[in-house]
Structure 1
Amino acid sequence: MSPAPFPDRPHAKPVGKRPVAAFFGNLWRVALVNFAWPVVRLYVWLSARLRAPRWMGGSLREIGLRLWGFAWLTSVWVLLWGDVTWSNIVAGAVIALLVMVLLPLPRVAVEGRFHPLSALKLVATMLYNFFISSAQVAWAAVKPGEPPLGVVVRVHMAIKSDLTLTLAVDYINLVPGTMVVEIDQPARMLYIHVFDARQQKHVDSFLSQVAYIEREFIRTFERDEEWHPSPLHGIDDDYHHVPFADRQRVAEQDASRKEKR
C-alpha cells in the first residue's frame, strides 16, 4: 500500500474556490452577459431610432431628467407626511405633476456626461473633508490662545456649466469652516470665507483643496471630449464659454498630479 501523498496533512482540501465564492464570482459575469449588455444595446437602439415628443423634452435625456424630477417631488411629498402609503404616493404624484405643468422651473442645461466612479470619489472625499474640518473647527473652539483669523479668498473656477458650478459651490459649503459668500458668474470667480488663515500654509492647503474640487467636478460632469453645448444657451453668452487656457490649467494640474503618484 503506497503512503499518503501528504502524510502531515491527512485532511488537505483540493485547491480552488469554495462553492459560495465561486457562485458570487460567476454571478457578475452572468449579469453582465445576460442583463447589462442587452440593456445597453437596447438603450443605444432606442436612442438612434426613437424621437421623443417636444412636450416631453425632445430627447431621451430630457425625458429621464423630467421623470427624475417627478419621482423626486413625489418622494418629498411622502417624506413630508412621514408615512409611506398608497394614498400619500398617489397624492404626491398628482402634486408633482401639477407643479411641473403649472409651475415649471427654468430648464437646466445638461451638457456633459455623468461618470459614477468619479462621483463616488467626490462623495468619499467630501465625507473625509467633512470629518477633518469638523475636528479642526471643534479644536479651534476649545483650545486656548488667539481666535482663528478668518479671511475671504478669491478663487477662479474653470467650470463651464452653471449646474456643475452650483454643485461645486454646494460641495464647498458643506465642508465646515468654508462658505461661499459671493459668486461672480460671468467671470467664474468665487469669494470664499476661510475659517482659519493665520499661516500661509493654511491658505495654500485650502487653495489646493479647491483646485482638487474643481478638477474632480470637471472629470465627473464635463470632460472636454464629451462636452456638447446646449441650445438653451445663446451663442453670445460669454459666461458660458470658459477660455481654453483655464481648462488647460486644470488638465496640466491633473497630469502633474498623476506623475507624482
Structure 2
Amino acid sequence: MSSTPFPDKPHAKPVGKRPVAAFFGNLWRVTLVHLAWPAVRTYVWLNENLHAPAWAGGSLREFGLRLWGFAWLTFVWVLLWGDVTWANIVVGALIALLVMVLLPLPRVPVEGRFHPLSALKLVGTMIYNFFLSSAQVAWAAVKPGDPPLGAVVRVHMAIKSDLTLTLAVDYINLVPGTMVVEIDQDQRMLYIHVFDVRKQKYIDEFLKQMAYVERQFIKTFERDDEWHPSPFHGIDDDYHHVPFADRRRVVEQERSRKEKA
C-alpha cells in the first residue's frame, strides 16, 4: 500500500499569479510609491512654499498660464513663417515677450483642476461630432427638397469659470451646424443657432448634446469637490451666478445616465 494518501491525484498548482503577470501587476504599485507619490509631494511643497514674482503672475498657476501663452505666441509666429529654424524661434520668442510685456491681456482666473482623461474623452467626442455634423450639413446641401429650417435655441450652462465657459463656446462653434450668436455672462445663458430644427427629435438631440458638453466640461475642469475660486473674484456664487441647484441638476443627470447604462 502506498504511503501517499492520494496516489492518483495530480499535485495541486500553487495559488497565485504567474511570474510575468505578477511583475506587471506590482509595477504600478512600485511606480506609485517611488515615483508618483514623491512627485506629488514635491509639487505640493513647491506650490505652498514658492511664489512666482509679481511680473509672472504672483502664483505658480498664473505663471504656468503665462508660460503657455508665451509658447503659443512663439508657435504662431513660426507657423506664419512656415519654416522651423532657430532664427524664427528666437525672433518669435522675442516678439511674444514684447507682446506680453507691452500689450498685456487681462488676467484670466485659473480655477478648478484639469483632468486629462476626461479631456481626452471630450476631444474624442468633439472629433466624432465634427465628422458626423459635417456629413449631415453636406447631405442637406445636396439633397433635393426644402432647405433646412434653422433657429436660435437658448441653452443654460451651469459652468462657473469664464475660462471654462469660453472653452465650451469654442467647442460648440467648432462643430458644424451650431454657432453661438450671443452670450449672457451673468445668467450663464447661450443663444445658439442650430442648423436644422424641422423635427422635434433634432431639437432633443441638440439639447442632449449640450447637456453632455456641460457635464463633461465640469468633469474636466471644475468639479465641485476640487473648486478653488480665484482671489481675483469676490464671493463665489455672487460672481459666477451659478446657484447650487443648477450644479445639482448636472450631478443628477450624470447619475441618471449611469443608471440607464
Give TM class, smaller chain.
0.7 to 0.9
**Cα deviation 1:223-252 (Å, max 9, x = unaligned):** 111111112223498451311111111111
Contact 1:184 1:190 in 2 (8 A): yes
Q: 1:52 to 1:197 in 2, by over 3 A?
A: same
Q: Which moved more, 1:38-47 or 1:190-199?
A: 38-47
SS at match of 1:113: coil
What is the CA-CA distance between 1:199 and the residue it aligns to? 0.7
Q: Which moved more, 1:21-30 or 1:94-103?
A: 21-30
SS at match of 1:69: helix
1:176 is matched with which residue?
176
Contact 1:188 1:239 in 2 (8 A): no
* Code of the aligned partner of 2:218: I
Q: Specify every segment of 5 or more residues in structure 2 that has no aligned partner in the other structure, as ranges.
A: 1-17
Distance in structure 1 (CA, Å) of the matches to 2:19 and 2:138: 49
**Cα deviation 1:37-91 (Å, max 9, x = unaligned):** 4333321221222222222222111111111111111111111111111111111
1:105 is matched with which residue?
105
* Code of the aligned partner of 2:219: R
- Mapping 1:8-87, distance limit 5 Å: 35-87=35-87
Q: TM-score, normalised by structure 1?
A: 0.85
Percent of aligned pairs with the same amino acid: 82
What is the CA-CA distance between 1:33 and the residue it aligns to? 5.5
* Code of the aligned partner of 1:70: F
Contact 1:187 1:239 in 2 (8 A): no
Q: 1:221 to 1:148 in 2, by over 3 A?
A: same
Q: 1:191 to 1:59 in 2, by over 3 A?
A: same
* Code of the aligned partner of 1:78: V
Distance in structure 2 (CA, Å) of the matches to 1:99 and 1:209: 38
1:149 is matched with which residue?
149
Q: 1:99 to 1:253 in 2, by over 3 A?
A: same
2:119 is matched with which residue?
119
1:243 is matched with which residue?
243
Q: TM-score, normalised by structure 2?
A: 0.85
CA RMSD after TM alignment: 2.4
* Code of the aligned partner of 2:85: T
Q: 1:212 to 1:146 in 2, by over 3 A?
A: same
Contact 1:150 1:197 in 2 (8 A): yes
What is the CA-CA distance between 1:26 and the residue it aligns to? 8.6
What is the CA-CA distance between 1:29 and the residue it aligns to? 7.0
How many residues are paired up? 245
Contact 2:237 2:243 in 1 (8 A): no
* Code of the aligned partner of 1:255: R
Q: Is 1:213 the counterpart of 2:213 in the alignment?
A: yes
